[in-house]
Amino acid sequence: MTQIVSLIGARGTNAVTVELIDSLKNAWGGADVKWLAAGEASEFAVVERPGNRWEVWSDLQTLGVDLIVQPEEGRRKMMLLADMDSTMIQQECIDELAAEAGVGERVAAITAAAMNGELDFDGALRERVGLLKGLPESVIDEVLDKRITLMPGGQELVATMKANGAYAALVSGGFTAFTEAIAEKLGFDENRANTLISKDGLLTGDVGMPILGKQAKVDALEEITARLGISESDVLAVGDGANDLGMLKRAGTGVALHAKPSVAAQCDVRVNFGDLTALLYLQGYARDAFSNC
């Protein structure tokens, strides 16, 4: 089966050079190089997956270049299934709320351990939300306005895939108060997340049940593909934490984006340098084919 070899670097670094891509193409007996973005992304086809690809991947990491090898057939997907925190946005929402509540360091440490798979997700979420008890509900809007920033490339990713007929779903272990705002801003078709409970304008320290964690993301994959009448192989999933692994392994293409090391190690497709537009390059979209809104 024909494989596509993609080299992707961070925007503006010119890490992907003509010499680099030509050298790899010649070593692997590849077809003609196709440039998707000058200095940033290029690809070529090979007859079969190279046996030393992970050794080459490791070498290219030192140059700031991501290497992905995947089957050519079916690489352009009909659905985007995305995590939110540290994926579509650059922060962890609960950590930002905790900073406002004065328990930022404690909550951030729990978040990091949970995303590395060192703690049970449900228990870690309850513990962190409990520390937010008494925080004014109005702080959520303040955090959204002042602390939350979009991950670069997210708008192009969602807009381009939707312009080409794909469906976009945002599924988070975070909170609906954030996913609803981010989904609307980026153009997602639907969003799912946990619910923060409040009373008299204050957070109670409780989270709505059932908690949406790792299994909920797999459930979303199954339910939405069935509803759309498409296959799981038609899905591009992206995330960074341990609770994303279920959907990343089930989707046709599961991308570990700037992921925790323990997560990346379990995924074939790893993007450590590129932004979210790397997910378009993986599907063969050139930069001049991106949609910006």
Q: Which residues are catalytic?
A: 83, 85
List the Cα angle 110/193/247 in 5-degree steps: 80
Longest dimension (CA), the chain: 67
Tokens of 119: 């703690």
The answer to whether 283 touches 269, Cβ cutoff 8 Å, is no
181 HSE (CA, 13 A, CB side): 16
Residues 240, 260 contacting (CB under 8 angstroms): yes
Angle ∠(275,143,293) on CA atoms, nearest 5: 40
Q: Residue 213, SS3?
A: coil
DSSP for 145-203, please give it: HHT--BPTTHHHHHHHHHHTT-EEEEEEEEEHHHHHHHHHHHT-SEEEEE-EEEETTEE
Rounded distance between C-alpha atoms, residue 48 and residue 219, angstroms: 33
Ramachandran category for residue 263: left, alpha or beta (phi over 0 → left; psi -120 to 50 → alpha): alpha
Q: Who's near 66: CB < 8 A, 6+ residues apart?
A: 6, 7, 8, 9, 60, 270, 271, 272, 273, 274, 278
Distance of CA 32 to the CA centre of its chain: 30
Quote the CA–CA distance of 71 and 48 in Å, as a whole number.
9
To which residue do tokens 């991501």 refer?
Answer: 66
